Structure 1
Amino acid sequence: MNNFELEALLHEKLRPDLIQDYSPNGLQIEGKSEIRKVVTGVTASQALIEKAIALQADAILVHHGYFWKREPEPIRGMKGKRIRTLIQHDINLYAYHLPLDIHPELGNNACLARLLGIDVTGGLEGHEQSVAMYGSFREPVSSTDLSQRIAAVLQRAPLHIPSGEEQLISTVGWCTGGGQDFIDLAAAKGLDAFISGEISERTTYSAREQGIHYFSAGHHATERYGVKALGEWLAQTQDLEVEFVDIDNPV
Protein backbone atom coordinates (compact mmCIF):
# COMPACT_ATOMS: atom_id res chain seq x y z
CA MET A 1 0.00 0.00 0.00
CA ASN A 2 1.18 3.52 -0.79
CA ASN A 3 2.02 5.60 2.29
CA PHE A 4 -0.39 8.40 1.36
CA GLU A 5 -3.14 5.88 0.63
CA LEU A 6 -2.66 4.52 4.14
CA GLU A 7 -3.01 8.02 5.58
CA ALA A 8 -6.23 8.56 3.61
CA LEU A 9 -7.59 5.24 4.87
CA LEU A 10 -6.77 6.08 8.50
CA HIS A 11 -8.28 9.55 8.12
CA GLU A 12 -11.47 8.03 6.73
CA LYS A 13 -11.71 5.64 9.69
CA LEU A 14 -10.76 8.04 12.50
CA ARG A 15 -12.06 11.39 11.14
CA PRO A 16 -9.49 13.75 12.70
CA ASP A 17 -11.30 16.66 11.02
CA LEU A 18 -14.09 16.37 13.59
CA ILE A 19 -12.02 17.38 16.62
CA GLN A 20 -9.41 19.99 17.51
CA ASP A 21 -6.20 18.41 18.74
CA TYR A 22 -2.86 19.32 20.31
CA SER A 23 -0.73 17.75 17.59
CA PRO A 24 -1.07 16.96 13.86
CA ASN A 25 -2.89 13.72 13.08
CA GLY A 26 -1.79 11.54 10.19
CA LEU A 27 1.55 11.11 8.46
CA GLN A 28 4.04 13.09 10.56
CA ILE A 29 7.33 11.80 9.11
CA GLU A 30 7.37 10.66 5.47
CA GLY A 31 9.34 7.53 4.63
CA LYS A 32 9.29 4.98 1.82
CA SER A 33 6.32 5.07 -0.53
CA GLU A 34 5.43 1.37 -0.36
CA ILE A 35 4.23 -0.05 2.96
CA ARG A 36 4.00 -3.76 3.67
CA LYS A 37 4.74 -4.00 7.41
CA VAL A 38 3.47 -1.70 10.17
CA VAL A 39 4.53 -1.62 13.82
CA THR A 40 1.99 -0.15 16.23
CA GLY A 41 2.69 1.20 19.72
CA VAL A 42 1.56 3.79 22.23
CA THR A 43 4.40 6.32 21.90
CA ALA A 44 6.97 6.96 19.19
CA SER A 45 9.89 6.58 21.58
CA GLN A 46 13.43 5.74 20.52
CA ALA A 47 12.91 2.21 21.85
CA LEU A 48 9.87 1.69 19.62
CA ILE A 49 11.74 3.06 16.60
CA GLU A 50 14.67 0.70 17.23
CA LYS A 51 12.25 -2.24 17.54
CA ALA A 52 10.58 -1.26 14.28
CA ILE A 53 13.98 -1.18 12.57
CA ALA A 54 14.76 -4.66 13.91
CA LEU A 55 11.40 -5.91 12.62
CA GLN A 56 12.06 -4.30 9.20
CA ALA A 57 8.89 -2.22 9.41
CA ASP A 58 8.00 0.29 6.72
CA ALA A 59 5.82 2.35 9.04
CA ILE A 60 5.10 3.04 12.69
CA LEU A 61 1.57 3.88 13.86
CA VAL A 62 1.22 5.40 17.33
CA HIS A 63 -1.11 7.30 19.66
CA HIS A 64 1.59 9.73 20.86
CA GLY A 65 3.60 11.19 18.02
CA TYR A 66 5.49 14.48 17.67
CA PHE A 67 5.05 18.23 17.15
CA TRP A 68 2.84 18.99 20.16
CA LYS A 69 1.54 22.50 20.69
CA ARG A 70 3.89 24.62 22.79
CA GLU A 71 6.75 22.10 22.56
CA PRO A 72 10.14 23.57 21.50
CA GLU A 73 10.33 23.78 17.73
CA PRO A 74 14.04 23.03 17.09
CA ILE A 75 14.73 19.46 16.00
CA ARG A 76 17.62 18.67 18.33
CA GLY A 77 18.50 16.44 21.28
CA MET A 78 16.12 13.53 21.92
CA LYS A 79 13.60 14.80 19.37
CA GLY A 80 16.34 15.21 16.75
CA LYS A 81 17.66 11.69 17.32
CA ARG A 82 14.21 10.14 16.94
CA ILE A 83 13.42 11.98 13.72
CA ARG A 84 16.90 11.43 12.31
CA THR A 85 16.62 7.69 12.94
CA LEU A 86 13.24 7.51 11.18
CA ILE A 87 14.55 9.40 8.15
CA GLN A 88 17.78 7.41 7.95
CA HIS A 89 15.78 4.15 7.84
CA ASP A 90 13.07 5.54 5.53
CA ILE A 91 10.29 4.71 8.05
CA ASN A 92 6.91 6.46 7.91
CA LEU A 93 5.49 7.72 11.20
CA TYR A 94 1.72 8.02 11.60
CA ALA A 95 0.14 9.39 14.78
CA TYR A 96 -3.48 9.79 15.87
CA HIS A 97 -4.15 11.36 19.25
CA LEU A 98 -7.67 12.47 20.26
CA PRO A 99 -9.32 10.78 17.24
CA LEU A 100 -7.98 7.49 18.60
CA ASP A 101 -9.27 8.28 22.10
CA ILE A 102 -12.85 8.96 21.04
CA HIS A 103 -13.51 6.50 18.19
CA PRO A 104 -16.66 4.56 19.18
CA GLU A 105 -15.30 1.20 18.01
CA LEU A 106 -11.50 1.30 18.10
CA GLY A 107 -10.88 4.18 20.52
CA ASN A 108 -9.03 3.95 23.81
CA ASN A 109 -12.18 4.81 25.75
CA ALA A 110 -14.28 2.23 23.91
CA CYS A 111 -11.64 -0.46 24.38
CA LEU A 112 -11.28 0.27 28.11
CA ALA A 113 -15.05 0.08 28.54
CA ARG A 114 -15.17 -3.36 26.93
CA LEU A 115 -12.24 -4.60 29.02
CA LEU A 116 -13.81 -3.44 32.30
CA GLY A 117 -17.38 -4.49 31.49
CA ILE A 118 -18.85 -0.98 31.31
CA ASP A 119 -22.00 -0.29 29.29
CA VAL A 120 -21.48 3.05 27.54
CA THR A 121 -24.18 5.69 28.00
CA GLY A 122 -22.54 8.58 26.16
CA GLY A 123 -20.07 11.43 26.20
CA LEU A 124 -19.46 13.04 29.57
CA GLU A 125 -19.17 16.44 27.88
CA GLY A 126 -22.59 15.97 26.29
CA HIS A 127 -21.56 15.49 22.66
CA GLU A 128 -20.28 12.75 20.34
CA GLN A 129 -16.71 14.06 20.24
CA SER A 130 -16.37 14.06 24.02
CA VAL A 131 -12.95 12.84 25.16
CA ALA A 132 -14.48 11.53 28.41
CA MET A 133 -17.27 8.98 28.63
CA TYR A 134 -19.74 7.70 31.21
CA GLY A 135 -21.76 4.54 31.67
CA SER A 136 -22.64 1.85 34.16
CA PHE A 137 -21.81 -1.64 35.32
CA ARG A 138 -24.39 -4.35 34.75
CA GLU A 139 -24.06 -5.24 38.41
CA PRO A 140 -22.78 -2.81 41.08
CA VAL A 141 -19.26 -3.50 42.34
CA SER A 142 -17.35 -2.54 45.46
CA SER A 143 -14.34 -0.23 45.14
CA THR A 144 -12.10 -3.14 46.15
CA ASP A 145 -13.55 -5.35 43.43
CA LEU A 146 -13.16 -2.60 40.84
CA SER A 147 -9.52 -2.04 41.86
CA GLN A 148 -8.87 -5.75 41.46
CA ARG A 149 -10.63 -5.84 38.09
CA ILE A 150 -8.56 -2.92 36.79
CA ALA A 151 -5.35 -4.52 38.04
CA ALA A 152 -6.19 -7.85 36.40
CA VAL A 153 -7.11 -6.28 33.05
CA LEU A 154 -4.30 -3.72 32.79
CA GLN A 155 -1.58 -5.70 34.63
CA ARG A 156 -1.10 -2.65 36.84
CA ALA A 157 -2.58 -1.94 40.29
CA PRO A 158 -4.48 1.38 40.21
CA LEU A 159 -4.15 4.11 42.81
CA HIS A 160 -7.57 4.39 44.45
CA ILE A 161 -8.75 7.57 46.17
CA PRO A 162 -11.91 6.65 48.14
CA SER A 163 -14.99 8.82 48.02
CA GLY A 164 -15.14 9.07 51.81
CA GLU A 165 -17.66 6.32 52.31
CA GLU A 166 -17.85 2.76 51.04
CA GLN A 167 -20.78 2.39 48.68
CA LEU A 168 -21.26 0.09 45.72
CA ILE A 169 -20.29 1.57 42.37
CA SER A 170 -22.95 1.49 39.67
CA THR A 171 -22.22 4.53 37.50
CA VAL A 172 -18.76 5.44 36.29
CA GLY A 173 -17.01 7.98 34.09
CA TRP A 174 -13.64 7.47 32.43
CA CYS A 175 -11.06 9.09 30.20
CA THR A 176 -7.91 7.24 29.23
CA GLY A 177 -4.53 8.94 29.54
CA GLY A 178 -4.31 12.32 31.27
CA GLY A 179 -7.99 12.96 31.90
CA GLN A 180 -7.99 13.38 35.67
CA ASP A 181 -9.60 16.83 35.62
CA PHE A 182 -12.81 15.39 34.18
CA ILE A 183 -13.48 14.11 37.73
CA ASP A 184 -15.28 17.37 38.52
CA LEU A 185 -17.66 16.92 35.59
CA ALA A 186 -18.24 13.31 36.66
CA ALA A 187 -18.99 14.42 40.23
CA ALA A 188 -21.38 17.11 39.00
CA LYS A 189 -23.21 14.40 37.03
CA GLY A 190 -23.58 12.36 40.23
CA LEU A 191 -21.46 9.42 39.11
CA ASP A 192 -20.12 6.99 41.70
CA ALA A 193 -16.59 6.75 40.32
CA PHE A 194 -14.18 8.11 37.74
CA ILE A 195 -11.26 6.30 36.09
CA SER A 196 -8.35 7.87 34.23
CA GLY A 197 -4.69 7.26 33.60
CA GLU A 198 -2.98 9.94 35.64
CA ILE A 199 -3.57 11.75 38.92
CA SER A 200 -2.73 15.27 40.13
CA GLU A 201 -2.38 16.54 43.67
CA ARG A 202 -5.73 18.32 43.36
CA THR A 203 -7.50 15.13 42.23
CA THR A 204 -7.35 13.69 45.76
CA TYR A 205 -9.33 16.57 47.22
CA SER A 206 -11.80 16.55 44.34
CA ALA A 207 -12.58 12.90 45.07
CA ARG A 208 -12.83 13.25 48.85
CA GLU A 209 -14.79 16.49 48.94
CA GLN A 210 -17.21 15.63 46.15
CA GLY A 211 -17.88 12.06 47.27
CA ILE A 212 -16.65 10.22 44.16
CA HIS A 213 -14.18 7.33 43.93
CA TYR A 214 -11.15 7.98 41.75
CA PHE A 215 -8.96 5.33 40.14
CA SER A 216 -5.64 6.29 38.55
CA ALA A 217 -4.90 3.32 36.31
CA GLY A 218 -1.84 4.50 34.36
CA HIS A 219 -1.54 6.70 31.27
CA HIS A 220 0.28 4.08 29.22
CA ALA A 221 -1.75 1.18 30.62
CA THR A 222 -5.12 2.73 29.71
CA GLU A 223 -3.97 3.72 26.21
CA ARG A 224 -2.46 0.47 24.94
CA TYR A 225 -5.63 -0.86 23.45
CA GLY A 226 -6.82 1.70 20.90
CA VAL A 227 -3.74 1.62 18.70
CA LYS A 228 -3.60 -2.16 19.10
CA ALA A 229 -7.21 -2.44 17.93
CA LEU A 230 -6.54 -0.06 15.04
CA GLY A 231 -3.61 -2.20 13.93
CA GLU A 232 -5.70 -5.35 14.13
CA TRP A 233 -8.36 -3.67 11.98
CA LEU A 234 -5.71 -2.77 9.40
CA ALA A 235 -4.39 -6.33 9.32
CA GLN A 236 -7.91 -7.74 8.88
CA THR A 237 -9.03 -5.34 6.15
CA GLN A 238 -5.83 -4.58 4.22
CA ASP A 239 -2.94 -6.55 2.74
CA LEU A 240 -0.60 -5.46 5.53
CA GLU A 241 1.46 -7.22 8.18
CA VAL A 242 0.89 -5.45 11.50
CA GLU A 243 2.64 -6.09 14.83
CA PHE A 244 1.89 -4.39 18.14
CA VAL A 245 4.94 -3.62 20.29
CA ASP A 246 4.39 -2.71 23.94
CA ILE A 247 7.28 -0.64 25.31
CA ASP A 248 6.95 -0.82 29.09
CA ASN A 249 6.09 2.45 30.82
CA PRO A 250 5.03 2.46 34.51
CA VAL A 251 3.39 5.90 34.37
Structure 2
Amino acid sequence: MSTTTTRHEVRQAFDALLQPARFKDYGPNGLQVEGRAGIGKIVSGVTASRALIEAAIDTRADAIFVHHGLFWRGQDGCVTGWMKQRLALLLAHDINLFAYHLPLDAHPELGNNAQLGLQLGLQASARFGEQELGFLGERIDGGSFASAAELATHLENTLKRPITQVGPAQAAIKKIAWCSGGAQGYFEAAIAAGADAFITGEISEPQAHYARELNVAFFACGHHATERYGAPAVAAQVAAQLGLSHQFIDIDNPA
Protein backbone atom coordinates (compact mmCIF):
# COMPACT_ATOMS: atom_id res chain seq x y z
CA MET A 1 0.00 0.00 0.00
CA SER A 2 1.44 3.38 -1.03
CA THR A 3 1.83 6.38 1.23
CA THR A 4 2.18 10.11 0.58
CA THR A 5 5.27 12.23 0.98
CA THR A 6 6.21 15.80 0.17
CA ARG A 7 7.33 17.22 -3.13
CA HIS A 8 10.53 18.36 -1.43
CA GLU A 9 11.36 14.81 -0.30
CA VAL A 10 10.75 13.43 -3.78
CA ARG A 11 12.97 16.07 -5.35
CA GLN A 12 15.70 15.39 -2.79
CA ALA A 13 15.55 11.67 -3.56
CA PHE A 14 15.86 12.20 -7.32
CA ASP A 15 18.70 14.70 -6.87
CA ALA A 16 20.59 12.44 -4.47
CA LEU A 17 20.36 9.55 -6.91
CA LEU A 18 21.12 11.41 -10.16
CA GLN A 19 23.43 14.22 -8.92
CA PRO A 20 22.44 16.80 -11.56
CA ALA A 21 25.01 19.37 -10.37
CA ARG A 22 27.73 17.18 -11.90
CA PHE A 23 26.52 17.79 -15.44
CA LYS A 24 26.65 20.57 -17.99
CA ASP A 25 23.28 20.10 -19.69
CA TYR A 26 20.99 21.55 -22.34
CA GLY A 27 18.20 22.49 -19.94
CA PRO A 28 17.18 22.52 -16.26
CA ASN A 29 17.27 19.23 -14.34
CA GLY A 30 14.93 18.62 -11.41
CA LEU A 31 11.50 20.08 -10.72
CA GLN A 32 10.42 21.88 -13.88
CA VAL A 33 6.77 22.49 -13.00
CA GLU A 34 5.53 22.75 -9.42
CA GLY A 35 2.31 20.94 -8.57
CA ARG A 36 0.66 19.85 -5.35
CA ALA A 37 2.75 19.61 -2.21
CA GLY A 38 1.87 15.98 -1.43
CA ILE A 39 2.89 13.13 -3.74
CA GLY A 40 1.51 9.59 -3.56
CA LYS A 41 1.83 8.42 -7.17
CA ILE A 42 4.56 8.98 -9.76
CA VAL A 43 4.09 8.29 -13.46
CA SER A 44 7.29 7.89 -15.47
CA GLY A 45 7.74 8.25 -19.22
CA VAL A 46 10.32 9.26 -21.80
CA THR A 47 9.01 12.68 -22.86
CA ALA A 48 6.68 15.24 -21.28
CA SER A 49 4.34 15.13 -24.26
CA ARG A 50 0.68 16.08 -24.08
CA ALA A 51 -0.23 12.41 -24.52
CA LEU A 52 1.84 11.42 -21.47
CA ILE A 53 0.42 14.26 -19.37
CA GLU A 54 -3.14 13.28 -20.31
CA ALA A 55 -2.43 9.63 -19.48
CA ALA A 56 -0.96 10.65 -16.12
CA ILE A 57 -4.06 12.71 -15.37
CA ASP A 58 -6.23 9.67 -16.13
CA THR A 59 -4.27 7.60 -13.60
CA ARG A 60 -4.54 10.34 -10.93
CA ALA A 61 -0.78 10.86 -10.75
CA ASP A 62 0.66 13.53 -8.47
CA ALA A 63 3.97 13.74 -10.32
CA ILE A 64 5.49 12.89 -13.70
CA PHE A 65 9.14 11.87 -14.07
CA VAL A 66 10.69 12.08 -17.58
CA HIS A 67 13.94 12.19 -19.50
CA HIS A 68 12.83 14.92 -21.94
CA GLY A 69 11.23 17.82 -20.07
CA LEU A 70 9.62 21.00 -21.35
CA PHE A 71 12.46 23.51 -21.24
CA TRP A 72 15.61 23.55 -23.36
CA ARG A 73 18.41 25.97 -24.07
CA GLY A 74 17.63 28.19 -27.05
CA GLN A 75 13.84 28.29 -26.65
CA ASP A 76 12.21 31.67 -27.18
CA GLY A 77 10.46 31.54 -23.80
CA CYS A 78 6.97 32.16 -25.16
CA VAL A 79 4.13 30.13 -23.64
CA THR A 80 2.14 29.51 -26.81
CA GLY A 81 1.00 26.53 -28.90
CA TRP A 82 2.15 23.12 -27.65
CA MET A 83 3.94 24.65 -24.65
CA LYS A 84 0.78 26.40 -23.49
CA GLN A 85 -1.27 23.22 -23.94
CA ARG A 86 1.11 21.05 -21.90
CA LEU A 87 1.60 23.62 -19.15
CA ALA A 88 -2.13 24.29 -18.94
CA LEU A 89 -2.80 20.60 -18.30
CA LEU A 90 -0.09 20.30 -15.64
CA LEU A 91 -1.21 23.46 -13.83
CA ALA A 92 -4.93 22.74 -14.07
CA HIS A 93 -4.42 19.31 -12.49
CA ASP A 94 -1.72 20.43 -10.05
CA ILE A 95 0.81 17.83 -11.26
CA ASN A 96 4.53 18.10 -10.57
CA LEU A 97 6.90 17.59 -13.49
CA PHE A 98 10.41 16.28 -12.78
CA ALA A 99 12.85 16.02 -15.68
CA TYR A 100 16.44 14.78 -15.75
CA HIS A 101 18.32 14.68 -19.03
CA LEU A 102 22.05 13.85 -19.01
CA PRO A 103 22.00 12.73 -15.36
CA LEU A 104 19.49 10.06 -16.34
CA ASP A 105 21.64 8.94 -19.28
CA ALA A 106 24.71 8.61 -17.08
CA HIS A 107 23.61 6.79 -13.93
CA PRO A 108 25.81 3.64 -13.74
CA GLU A 109 23.05 1.20 -12.75
CA LEU A 110 19.64 2.78 -13.42
CA GLY A 111 20.33 5.23 -16.24
CA ASN A 112 19.36 4.96 -19.88
CA ASN A 113 22.71 3.55 -20.98
CA ALA A 114 23.05 1.09 -18.11
CA GLN A 115 19.49 -0.16 -18.58
CA LEU A 116 19.86 -0.36 -22.38
CA GLY A 117 22.96 -2.48 -21.87
CA LEU A 118 21.03 -4.72 -19.50
CA GLN A 119 18.26 -5.19 -22.07
CA LEU A 120 20.82 -6.05 -24.75
CA GLY A 121 22.86 -8.39 -22.57
CA LEU A 122 25.87 -6.07 -22.48
CA GLN A 123 28.13 -5.25 -19.56
CA ALA A 124 30.15 -2.04 -19.44
CA SER A 125 33.80 -2.07 -18.42
CA ALA A 126 34.66 1.54 -19.30
CA ARG A 127 33.16 4.94 -20.09
CA PHE A 128 34.07 7.30 -22.93
CA GLY A 129 33.12 10.57 -24.61
CA GLU A 130 32.11 13.98 -23.33
CA GLN A 131 31.06 13.84 -19.67
CA GLU A 132 31.73 10.07 -19.91
CA LEU A 133 28.20 9.39 -21.10
CA GLY A 134 29.22 6.58 -23.46
CA PHE A 135 29.51 2.97 -22.26
CA LEU A 136 32.03 0.44 -23.60
CA GLY A 137 31.95 -3.27 -22.91
CA GLU A 138 31.12 -6.77 -24.10
CA ARG A 139 28.39 -9.37 -23.89
CA ILE A 140 27.58 -10.43 -20.35
CA ASP A 141 28.21 -14.06 -21.29
CA GLY A 142 31.70 -13.17 -22.53
CA GLY A 143 30.97 -14.20 -26.10
CA SER A 144 31.00 -12.22 -29.31
CA PHE A 145 28.64 -11.68 -32.22
CA ALA A 146 29.75 -13.59 -35.31
CA SER A 147 28.92 -10.60 -37.50
CA ALA A 148 27.33 -7.18 -37.50
CA ALA A 149 24.36 -8.77 -39.21
CA GLU A 150 23.88 -11.06 -36.21
CA LEU A 151 24.06 -8.09 -33.83
CA ALA A 152 21.54 -6.22 -35.99
CA THR A 153 19.08 -9.10 -35.66
CA HIS A 154 19.62 -9.18 -31.91
CA LEU A 155 18.94 -5.43 -31.68
CA GLU A 156 15.75 -5.64 -33.73
CA ASN A 157 14.43 -8.59 -31.75
CA THR A 158 15.18 -6.92 -28.40
CA LEU A 159 14.00 -3.41 -29.18
CA LYS A 160 11.05 -4.57 -31.31
CA ARG A 161 11.72 -2.20 -34.21
CA PRO A 162 13.73 -1.97 -37.42
CA ILE A 163 17.17 -0.42 -37.18
CA THR A 164 19.64 1.26 -39.54
CA GLN A 165 22.99 -0.49 -39.92
CA VAL A 166 25.98 1.03 -41.74
CA GLY A 167 29.47 -0.39 -42.10
CA PRO A 168 30.89 -3.91 -42.24
CA ALA A 169 28.27 -6.65 -42.00
CA GLN A 170 30.37 -9.80 -41.71
CA ALA A 171 33.23 -8.98 -39.33
CA ALA A 172 33.02 -10.50 -35.82
CA ILE A 173 32.10 -8.06 -33.03
CA LYS A 174 33.56 -8.34 -29.54
CA LYS A 175 33.91 -4.84 -28.09
CA ILE A 176 30.69 -2.78 -28.25
CA ALA A 177 30.13 0.89 -27.45
CA TRP A 178 26.71 2.38 -26.84
CA CYS A 179 25.11 5.69 -25.92
CA SER A 180 21.35 6.17 -26.08
CA GLY A 181 19.33 8.81 -27.92
CA GLY A 182 20.91 11.40 -30.19
CA ALA A 183 24.52 10.41 -29.49
CA GLN A 184 25.71 9.92 -33.05
CA GLY A 185 28.39 12.54 -32.35
CA TYR A 186 30.02 10.07 -29.95
CA PHE A 187 30.90 7.68 -32.80
CA GLU A 188 34.45 8.94 -33.29
CA ALA A 189 35.14 8.70 -29.55
CA ALA A 190 33.78 5.15 -29.59
CA ILE A 191 36.11 4.25 -32.44
CA ALA A 192 39.05 5.81 -30.57
CA ALA A 193 38.12 3.73 -27.52
CA GLY A 194 38.52 0.56 -29.59
CA ALA A 195 34.90 -0.39 -30.34
CA ASP A 196 34.05 -2.87 -33.09
CA ALA A 197 30.50 -1.52 -33.16
CA PHE A 198 28.55 1.49 -31.90
CA ILE A 199 24.88 1.48 -30.86
CA THR A 200 22.85 4.68 -30.48
CA GLY A 201 19.46 6.13 -31.37
CA GLU A 202 20.10 8.24 -34.45
CA ILE A 203 22.49 8.64 -37.37
CA SER A 204 23.57 11.78 -39.22
CA GLU A 205 25.24 12.06 -42.62
CA PRO A 206 28.91 11.97 -41.48
CA GLN A 207 28.62 8.75 -39.46
CA ALA A 208 27.82 6.63 -42.53
CA HIS A 209 31.15 7.60 -44.07
CA TYR A 210 33.09 7.02 -40.84
CA ALA A 211 31.57 3.55 -40.48
CA ARG A 212 32.57 2.54 -44.01
CA GLU A 213 36.00 4.15 -43.99
CA LEU A 214 37.04 3.01 -40.51
CA ASN A 215 35.44 -0.44 -40.70
CA VAL A 216 33.34 -0.03 -37.52
CA ALA A 217 29.65 -0.96 -37.60
CA PHE A 218 27.13 1.75 -36.70
CA PHE A 219 23.62 0.92 -35.49
CA ALA A 220 20.87 3.57 -35.25
CA CYS A 221 18.10 1.96 -33.21
CA GLY A 222 15.72 4.86 -32.54
CA HIS A 223 15.96 7.73 -30.08
CA HIS A 224 12.86 6.70 -28.13
CA ALA A 225 13.59 2.98 -28.34
CA THR A 226 17.03 3.37 -26.75
CA GLU A 227 15.77 5.69 -23.99
CA ARG A 228 12.72 3.78 -22.73
CA TYR A 229 14.41 2.09 -19.79
CA GLY A 230 16.06 4.66 -17.53
CA ALA A 231 13.04 6.71 -16.44
CA PRO A 232 11.00 3.75 -15.13
CA ALA A 233 14.05 2.26 -13.40
CA VAL A 234 14.86 5.47 -11.53
CA ALA A 235 11.24 6.35 -10.72
CA ALA A 236 10.55 2.82 -9.47
CA GLN A 237 13.55 2.98 -7.12
CA VAL A 238 12.59 6.37 -5.69
CA ALA A 239 8.95 5.30 -5.33
CA ALA A 240 9.98 2.15 -3.47
CA GLN A 241 12.39 4.12 -1.27
CA LEU A 242 9.64 6.56 -0.25
CA GLY A 243 6.73 4.10 -0.20
CA LEU A 244 4.97 5.66 -3.20
CA SER A 245 3.05 4.19 -6.12
CA HIS A 246 4.70 4.16 -9.56
CA GLN A 247 3.51 3.46 -13.11
CA PHE A 248 5.47 3.62 -16.35
CA ILE A 249 3.49 4.83 -19.37
CA ASP A 250 5.16 4.31 -22.73
CA ILE A 251 3.92 6.71 -25.41
CA ASP A 252 5.02 5.14 -28.69
CA ASN A 253 7.32 7.19 -30.88
CA PRO A 254 8.77 5.90 -34.20
CA ALA A 255 11.71 8.33 -34.06
TM-score between the two structures when normalised by the length of structure 2: 0.94
Q: Which structure is richer in relative contact order (CA contacts within 8 A, separation 6 or more)? A: 2
Which residue of the partner structure matches residue 94 of structure 1?
98
* Cα pair 1:234 1:242 within 8 Å, conserved: no
Match of 1:130 among 118, 126, 132: 132
Show the 5 A alignment for 1:62-73: 62-73=66-77
Residue 242 (structure 2) aligned to one of 232, 238, 242: 238
Q: CA deviation at 1:188?
A: 2.2
Deviation of 1:61 after TM superposition, in Å, equals 0.5
Deviation (angstroms), 1:116: 1.2
Listed one character per residue, the Cα deviations across residues 32-89 of structure 1 (whole Å, up to 9, x for unaligned) are 0000011100000000000011111111000000210012211111111111110011
CA RMSD of aligned residues (A): 1.2
The alpha-carbon deviation at position 131 of structure 1 amounts to 1.2
Provide structure 2 residue ranges, at least 5 long, that are not aligned to the other structure. Answer: none
**Residue 155 of structure 1 corresponds to which residue in structure 2?**
160
What secondary structure does 2:114 align onto?
A: helix
Alignment correspondent of 2:191: 187
User: Per-residue displacement from partner, 1:102-152 (whole Å, max 9, x unpaired)?
Assistant: 0001011101111112121111138xx411111122211021221111112
Whichever residue aligns with residue 135 of structure 1, its letter is G
Deviations 1:150-187 (A, max 9, x none): 11221112111123x62100011111000011111112
Take 1:113 and 1:78, find their aligned partners in 2: how far apart are those partners? Answer: 33
Aligned to 2:233, which of 212, 226, 229? 229
Partners of 2:11 and 2:242 lie apart in 1 by 13
Asked if 1 retains the 8 angstrom alpha-carbon contact of 2:110 and 2:230, the reply is: yes
Structure 1 segments (4+ residues) deviating >4 Å: none
Structure 2 residue aligned with 1:199: 203
Say whether 1:7 aligns with 2:4: no
Unpaired runs of at least 5, structure 1: none
SS at match of 1:139: coil
Where 1:140 maps in the other structure, the secondary structure is coil
Matching of residue 144 in structure 1 with residue 149 in structure 2: yes
Q: Aligned partners of 2:235 and 2:23: how far apart in 1?
A: 21
- Quote the offset at 1:12 in angstroms: 0.4
Quote the offset at 1:218 in angstroms.
0.6
CA deviations 1:209-250 (Å, max 9, x no partner) are 111000001100000000011122123222111000000000
Q: TM-score, normalised by structure 1?
A: 0.95
State the secondary structure of the residue aligned to 1:169: coil
